[in-house]
Structure 1
């Protein structure tokens, strides 16, 4: 599931200056949507590139598909119904939802997506949200006295009928929304003036999207100098933490954890944006479980960064340096008895993760336990496939 963060920036937030601050923060933080009033759509487009959802507050009006040559910058990506209507309680809910003005507006055809905005003021509003979800592309639900129970009910009942957006005011609430019933809401609508809270909410989204890998130990069986080869340094646009690195190896099924060059030494300055990853033929793991050859990496590509606990994130390649350097062949045996290898530069600055801590490849010996990721899956052009491939 792809998660998303929406930021609320309509006229309930305040004047344009207050709304603009939220929109600017959303753009800078990497939020996916802003929710504004229809008249602010063009202003948002002028500020930057972000998806725009716009409240319809004028009832049964001419929809955009009926307008004559509307300007693209004035069109939102989605209209939202419910503000100053039945969805937010301004108008009482009808006894029979078939006569609902909000639902009637949602059912009208339009090339622009439609969303429903519902404040959960009681069980009737929860039922109303379910009815709206049957016709809405996006269903935004705002909890009041109760938040978790209505969200659990809606997650269980709505299924894949709509994109469910849960209203939150903090990153902690967003984390709960993304984890509820182990399925979670598809998105959150954050309503706060605190820029840091919006940024933390985006961080929560990113963390929810990332893989967490089970790393294991491989035992070094051989380590020997093998002469020179074309070695690849991957310089990213991000700084690595001390316990982070990349997964690289000669065999796609078994990738060795190689630390980033974050450690200081008496002779060489640290390069906390760099992983000295090995020879050009080796694989490197990419986001969402793919691999690339190190020789294929280019500026702008994404690679996967991993820490020693298996937590992953993405980094953008800024530069790839390929130079001829003396190399070691490192052979390991997995817990299951499989044999894997990689080539790493013969230098003290290249470090791997062992049971005894971070260790230079020049200090490795047979019998040492090295951290690795093992996945006995064949790959074709970097994608996992169900076929037999022999690597040796």
Structure 2
């Protein structure tokens, strides 16, 4: 393959506003390609796509598209030399194969092209298409995501949309994240109706938030030696971002990342000096895990002081023997919670408004942030049952 970095896109004219230019869109969307879906499976896939509000369905059969409801975009694929579409009431977008230019259709129908990117020349074609055509479907023959990055950069502020063909759900998750923005759309030929549901989850933006509560410190004790864990993540954490950790499943403290200045050592904004190895930590799916169980590559929740949540991946968990300090607090409804951390000034817990509190300087009456669900836990999952944690 020719060197894709040789492509220059600055001289490509942006998509001129026309009646067929799609309205601005936020977030990601998905299209389902029915062309390779067996007939026996097709109805189930279509119904799943409609149920999960998939944005578009792609087919080369205009009769199939004509039966679809108006809640889904109907995308008809045709060869570049096909006759003009007459029944435009059955189609929303006409997609031309081969990238030879947008097909000539009625003004009420949007147009798009499909470009197979396999070398520097076809990459240049894709960059031109995405700035001149409302919809550009991209197939990349090589496993590297560098060509997609270049096309995404070319599409910036152009008004056109990129839709990348993905092989499976794992590929969809990767393509969604390329250059942080990712491809606008994902085109999948599903192997089952379940693939459609999972694809819908991939493109759904995370709106997770934690309902954090204020905790009042009641007791601070130096308890001697024990093992504690540092959690190194694959992400750079914000100054008010932490992980939720505690001795009890019904109460966790917001542990501060090492994003604030430290004496004698640089900051490590990817790390939480989390807590003792017995501690619970909150991970995606409303589950808890013991700190000692965590391993490289696993997901963990990063939580900010305003309650916003994101998933980050663990790069390493480092367990070492250190002096420990026990911090006990109460919730506003009188429940007792606890966390045991390394007994050192540089270990910090977050408080209201993102305040940073060194554990060795905590005193009764100090206010901290935490999470205090009412459910107990069994094998990390919430369950309503009697459980007395002390």
Q: TM-score range by the shorter chain?
A: 0.5 to 0.7
- Pairing 1:313–2:316 present: no
Equivalent position of 1:331 in the other structure:
328
Q: CA deviation at 1:209?
A: 2.3
Equivalent position of 2:136 in the other structure:
none
| 2:227–2:320 Cα contact (<8 Å) kept | yes
Q: CA deviation at 1:249?
A: 0.1
Structure-1-length-normalised TM-score: 0.53
| 2:61–2:76 Cα contact (<8 Å) kept | no
Equivalent position of 1:57 in the other structure:
60
Structure-2-length-normalised TM-score: 0.53
| 2:225–2:324 Cα contact (<8 Å) kept | yes
Equivalent position of 1:385 in the other structure:
383
- Pairing 1:286–2:283 present: yes
| 2:243–2:256 Cα contact (<8 Å) kept | yes
SS at match of 1:328: strand
- Pairing 1:82–2:76 present: yes
Unaligned runs of 5+ in 1: 1-29, 40-52, 62-79, 95-99, 103-118, 123-168, 174-193
Q: 1:340 aligns with which of 308, 321, 337?
A: 337
Structure 2 counterparts to residues 108-119 of structure 1, below 5 A: none
Q: CA deviation at 1:300?
A: 1.1
| 2:301–2:311 Cα contact (<8 Å) kept | yes
C-alpha distance in structure 1 between counterparts of 2:58 and 2:384, whole Å: 48
Q: CA deviation at 1:246?
A: 0.3
Equivalent position of 1:298 in the other structure:
295
C-alpha distance in structure 2 between counterparts of 1:211 and 1:93, whole Å: 41
C-alpha distance in structure 2 between counterparts of 1:91 and 1:385, whole Å: 59
C-alpha distance in structure 2 between counterparts of 1:201 and 1:310, whole Å: 29
- The 1:60–1:36 alpha-carbon spacing in structure 2 relative to 1, beyond 3 Å, is closer
Q: CA deviation at 1:301?
A: 0.9
Residue correspondences, number? 240
- The 1:225–1:196 alpha-carbon spacing in structure 2 relative to 1, beyond 3 Å, is closer
- The 1:206–1:258 alpha-carbon spacing in structure 2 relative to 1, beyond 3 Å, is farther
Partner deviation per Cα, 1:23-58 (whole Å, 9 max, x = no partner): xxxxxxx9786778979xxxxxxxxxxxxx994436
Equivalent position of 2:86 in the other structure:
91
Q: CA deviation at 1:121?
A: 5.9
Partner deviation per Cα, 1:210-249 (whole Å, 9 max, x = no partner): 4201111110000010001110101111110111010000
Structure 2 counterparts to residues 1-392 of structure 1, below 5 A: 55-57=58-60, 82-83=76-77, 90-92=85-87, 198=182, 208-355=205-352, 357-392=355-390
Partner deviation per Cα, 1:45-96 (whole Å, 9 max, x = no partner): xxxxxxxx994436689xxxxxxxxxxxxxxxxxx863469xxx933268xx
281-290 or 209-218, larger mean C-alpha shift: 209-218
Unaligned runs of 5+ in 2: 1-26, 37-55, 65-73, 93-105, 110-154, 160-177, 187-200
C-alpha distance in structure 1 between counterparts of 2:180 and 2:229, whole Å: 37
Aligned-pair Cα RMSD in Å:
4.1
